[in-house]
């Protein structure tokens, strides 16, 4: 057990499931035709892409089909980031008289970096704050969305804490002022129920590698009645909405991953929550001065953000790594300054806790045995780091 990797970093990326790998394998060396070709060798691949498109649509509850039975609301892209950018760019292009975008303070950089770029070009960007549980300030959202707003973009679930946002209410607020609504559902898809019809979203992003398909494929859902202006212009692929030869094998893989996610969703939710709850129970009982971050009553079943106060998350990760345990921290050490992440800062988590925050994110590939192993190794690691921490020594002063 000591030598086997324990992978608790599934919000970063997931293992490609064997069934998914098997489904995509023929598209490399056997069925390698270009779906745009006239010959049957390529054309039959195009039919397989349409089948995958339907499976993605089914996971999202996207029921619309055209006269040929094609789920045209699903556009395949290269990743979640591309989908996020494409939704924002399209909203700005199709509602040019509106110059404002409303988002949350805790979005992924796929949204925030794109919006920063638009801000430089004169678009007003408003970030709605969250409270200490990571819940969105809905009154502020209502106040900020106005007739000048072209897009409201709010993530379905947060990647660091797992907190789930009230997407149906957010979409209704956007629509009440004639704005479009996008949700980044990259962390939600395959983990909780998603229904684009019930929530009435206009755009929704997902990413293959977060739900056991490979890296390099994503999806943008665009509601049927909504005008769409593409970001990537090229050939006639994806009905002129995303140029470039399709990443066929990965699209087939994503279709299979969505099929599996839908079939196992209810059972997997229970299983993951039982693993997560056991981890949190043991950590809470065996380690003093910890806090669990996020909206505990309303979060993804696989995500646990735990702050070990008065020590550095990076040091914890290094020790875990020595035990072959993978997790991630709540810091962005881009400039070497180990600033806590923008999500923890937006939640106003005290610095002494934010610095020692570890995100454990689970998947169906994890076991209770692994949870117990991690819960066994954590207490001595935390005790040892606290022994050498000046903050721990001075904590009551
Ligand atoms: N949105 C969220 C919430 C994410 O967690 C991620 C990846 O971590 C992305 C978008 C970006 O997805 P991709 O890596 O496919 O670009």
pLDDT at 395 over 90: no
- Nearest CA among 166, 129, 182 for reference residue 297: 166
pLDDT at 1 over 60: no
Mutate-to-test residue for ligand 1 from 112, 210, 247, highest number of ligand atoms within 8 A of CB: 210
Residues within a 6 A CB radius of ligand 1: 79-81, 108, 110, 155, 159, 184, 186-187, 207, 218
**Mean pLDDT (whole number) for 116-127:** 98
Evaluate whether 355 touches 313 at the Cβ level (below 8 Å).
yes
Q: Whose alpha carbon is nearest atom 7 of ligand 1?
A: 12
**Mean pLDDT (whole number) for 114-138:** 98
The pLDDT of residue 337: 57
- Contacts of residue 266, defined as CB under 8 A and 6 or more positions apart, other chains included, come to none
Interval between CA 286 and ligand 1 midpoint (Å) = 33
The pLDDT of residue 335: 46
The pLDDT of residue 331: 63
Tens-place pLDDT, residues 8-40: 999 999 999 999 999 999 999 999 999 999 999
DSSP structure string for 265-312: HHHHHHHHHHHHHHHHHHHHHHSSSEEEES-TTSB-TTEEEEEETTS-
**Nearest atom, ligand 1, residue 155 CA:** 3
**Mean pLDDT (whole number) for 82-92:** 98
Indicate the pTM of the whole model: 0.97
What angle is formed at CA 223 by the lines to CA 92 and CA 27, rounded to 5 degrees? Answer: 105
Tens-place pLDDT, residues 169-200: 999 999 999 999 999 999 999 999 999 999 99
**Mean pLDDT (whole number) for 356-376:** 98
**Mean pLDDT (whole number) for 53-63:** 98
Distance CA 101, CA 179 (A): 9
- Contacts of residue 314, defined as CB under 8 A and 6 or more positions apart, other chains included, come to 329, 331, 333, 338
Q: Whose alpha carbon is nearest atom 9 of ligand 1?
A: 80
pLDDT at 355 over 70: yes
What ranges make up the beta strands (E) of the chain?
A: 6-7, 74-77, 100-104, 124-128, 149-153, 180-184, 203-207, 218-222, 290-293, 303-308, 325-326, 328-329, 331-332, 339-340, 357-361
Kindly report the average pLDDT of the chain as a whole number.
96
pLDDT at 336 over 70: no
pLDDT at 339 over 90: no
Interval between CA 14 and ligand 1 midpoint (Å) = 12
The pLDDT of residue 333: 52
* DSSP structural state of residue 208: G
What angle is formed at CA 60 by the lines to CA 91 and CA 46, rounded to 5 degrees? Answer: 85
What angle is formed at CA 180 by the lines to CA 175 and CA 181, rounded to 5 degrees? Answer: 90
Phi-psi region of 220 (alpha: psi -120 to 50; beta: other; left: phi over 0): beta
């Amino acid at each position: 057990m000591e030598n086997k990797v324990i992978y608790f970093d599934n919000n970063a990326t997931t293992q490609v499931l064997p069934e998914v790998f098997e489904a995509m394998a023929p598209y490399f060396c056997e069925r390698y035709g270009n779906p745009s070709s006239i010959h049957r060798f390529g054309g039959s691949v195009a039919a397989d892409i349409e089948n995958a498109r339907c499976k993605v649509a089914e996971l999202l509850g996207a029921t619309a089909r055209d006269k040929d039975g094609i789920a045209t609301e699903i556009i395949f892209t290269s990743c979640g980031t591309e989908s996020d950018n494409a939704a924002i760019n399209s909203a700005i292009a199709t509602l040019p008289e509106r110059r404002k975008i409303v988002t949350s303070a805790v979005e992924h950089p796929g949204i925030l970096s794109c919006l920063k770029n638009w801000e430089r070009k004169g678009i007003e960007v408003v970030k709605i704050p969250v409270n200490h549980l990571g819940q969105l300030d809905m009154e502020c959202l209502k106040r900020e969305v106005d007739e000048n707003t072209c897009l409201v973009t709010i993530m379905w679930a947060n990647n660091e804490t797992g907190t789930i946002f009230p997407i149906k209410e957010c979409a209704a607020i956007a629509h009440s002022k004639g704005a479009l609504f996008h949700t980044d559902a990259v962390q939600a898809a395959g983990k909780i129920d998603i229904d684009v019809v019930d929530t009435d979203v206009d755009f929704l992003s997902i990413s293959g590698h977060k739900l056991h398909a490979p890296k390099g494929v994503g999806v943008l859902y665009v509601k049927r009645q909504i005008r769409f202006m593409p970001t990537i212009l090229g050939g006639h692929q994806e009905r002129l909405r995303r140029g470039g030869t399709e990443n066929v094998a990965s699209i087939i893989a994503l279709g299979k991953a969505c099929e599996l996610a839908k079939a196992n969703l209810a059972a997997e939710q229970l299983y993951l929550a039982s693993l997560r709850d056991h981890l949190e129970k043991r950590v809470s009982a065996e380690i003093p001065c910890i806090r669990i971050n996020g909206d505990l009553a309303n979060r993804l079943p696989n995500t646990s953000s735990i702050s070990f106060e008065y020590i550095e998350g990076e040091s914890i990760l290094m020790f875990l790594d020595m035990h072959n345990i993978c997790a991630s921290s709540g810091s962005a050490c881009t400039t070497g300054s180990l600033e806590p992440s923008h999500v923890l800062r937006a939640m106003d988590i005290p610095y002494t806790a934010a610095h020692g925050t570890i995100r454990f994110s689970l998947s169906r590939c994890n076991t209770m045995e692994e949870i117990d192993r991690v819960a066994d190794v954590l207490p001595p690691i935390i005790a040892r780091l606290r022994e050498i921490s000046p903050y721990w020594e001075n904590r009551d002063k």
